[in-house]
Structure 1
Amino acid sequence: MEIPIIAPANGETPALAPPSRVDLNTADASALNSIPGVDSALAERILAYREERGPFLAVEELLAVPGVDGEAFAGIAEHVMVSFPPLDSVAGAPEQVEPDSAPLSLAEDWLPPDEVAPALEEPVPPAPPAVPVPSLAAEAHLPEPPPAVLTAAPEPALSTPQPVSVAPPPEPPPAAPHPVSRPEAPASAPTREPRAAKGSGWGWLAWVGAVFAGSILGMIFSLLVLNGINGTLNMDYHPAIVDLRNQTTDLGARQETLQGEVNGLRQRLDRLEGLTARMDQAEAAVKELRGEVETLDEETATLQTAVETLTQQIADVEARTAKAETFFQRLQALLSELFGGAEPMPEVPIEQEVQP
């Protein structure tokens, strides 16, 4: 079984990855969590993607993982690498490949150009001394170049990731020419194509909008055609429309009746508001009259006091008058006794003194 040589398109040998990078095909959740910008949820999505789709073929395939955008990929790409699966993990691969028993050969899909084909028909010299070929496990630590093509070395001395100096072989004797057989490519692991990028949803929305607008316009056109042909859209004499119109007329009449009642209530309210104003005036007049009555009561009380005082004074005068009359009567009686004696004295009752 022959192993193809995988080299970058520019022909340069890739440099070894720094040991700080994490292998996306062999790392577990804890190793993925140690990458800056990767949390536990993103690590679980990366592991789920790897279990579902198989090993990563390139670092750029992280963009297909849900939750990884361009900005996140720019921060993660510097800390990750992608290694090829070991040879023993490929279905149908041999347990061990000996360098002497499995020499390197050309890739399966490589064909020599027309000007090089005649040179290949010349006698093939014997094989040079075997050069140790690095195992695929050693190549697993190399970062995968962005675009890689399968090429073949133009000379027997092949370039490997670790350059080895090989002495040029001696000139072989001419031998009979024989046709160059096309080497068979080794069985490789099934590759998967990267997931197609999701297209924008604007096209789908535009298509749905166009279908909706077309259906609306078609319905309007159909209704116009039906109306123009047989007038099926005339709903003036439909029983439901007639009933609805009757109910509308009844509601209008009831509304007018209610409006008249509301107007009557409004007039009565205006009258009541006028009566309220009159009641306010009557209350003000009663309050004023009550004040005058209270003033008159005060004046009457004052007059009563004055009358009582005057009555007392009149009683005093009457008492004094009675005393004076009694004094004069007694004086007259005394004078009559002293000087007259013959004339009878008129009998005048002597009033008792009025106590003041």
Structure 2
Amino acid sequence: MRRLRGEELHDRPDYALVGVLHIPELQQSPGRAISRRVVFATFALVATAVIVFLDRDGYRDTQDNPLSFLDAMYYSAVTLSTTGYGDITPITPSARLINLLIITPLRVLFLIVLIGTTLEVLTERSRQALKIQRWRNSVRNHTVVIGYGTKGRTAIDAMIGDGVKTSEIVVVDANPDVLEVAAARGLVTVRGDATKSDVLRLAGVVHASSIVVAANRDDTAVLATLTARELNPRAKIVASIRESENTHLMRQSGANSVVVSSETAGRLLGIATMTPSVVEVIEDLLTPDEGYAIAEREVEPTETGGSPSHTRDIVLGVVRDGKLHRVDDIVVEQIEVGDRLLYVRKGASE
């Protein structure tokens, strides 16, 4: 994509972002769209015929016969389609005034309906620009997902399974094909290099509450994390990498949590050779739609002062002051106000 030197995406006018930033909308079937246009065209035709028939004394045909309703329909059809054979014409001032003020606007409406597909293409850019303007002014506390490969799609599936709305997720990727798939799911998409600050600004990283870095390359993930952290010092950044030796780079770049995809998969493979049922339980916990799932919640007032093991849920850990403590840690022997519990809950299908 061509870009002028020194020009950043987030500083561009909204109409110049069409094709880079895509706001999803409800899809309408072609049959329904055509049916609506036929209805509008028929309404315009009938309305014009009624107007002409009511003022039939002001019209004359070539044979000086009085106008019937069929004649009014005929005149309306040839007039709205701009065919205009001239065999029926308005002759009185009132009929000509009505033609000027009413029938002519109906003719324009009729033509718009007939060539609606072409006009829709022409106006799509303006509509997208308006939607982009509204979205940029209102987007706050959303989640930005960098990369829509296997990891990115799976992460979004997990978030949606936990109740996150698709309108609260923004996908950043340089591949237009995968962005089409994301847009079809109702996700806001931004096309561009996620290591560039102007692309991340356009995705609203400055106002995001969390950022998921699921790039295919570790070096890209490090640069994207560094750029995102510079733009938003407060956001929670979760990143995935392939090699564990890059973990310290990710944390130095500003990631709060780092997942080593290759080692995690390797551990599961190793466990599956000896105890495959354990892997099934882990997969169950990681799938929020069915079985059981790991979740986090606030401490209830009646639970303060008690032990995490005495709550109504199976508690795995306690988050205090942003730090996770295991349930057997003496520091969290008593639950305090402001703590958050990491617990096992039933899946959405239960």
Which structure ranks higher in relative contact order (CA pairs < 8 Å, sequence separation ≥ 6)?
Answer: 1
User: Would you call these one fold, judging by a TM-score over 0.5?
Assistant: no
Given the two structures, how large is their TM-score scaled by the length of structure 2?
0.19
Given the two structures, how large is their TM-score scaled by the length of structure 1?
0.19
Structure number with bigger Rg: 1
Q: In proportion to residue count, which structure has more strand?
A: 2
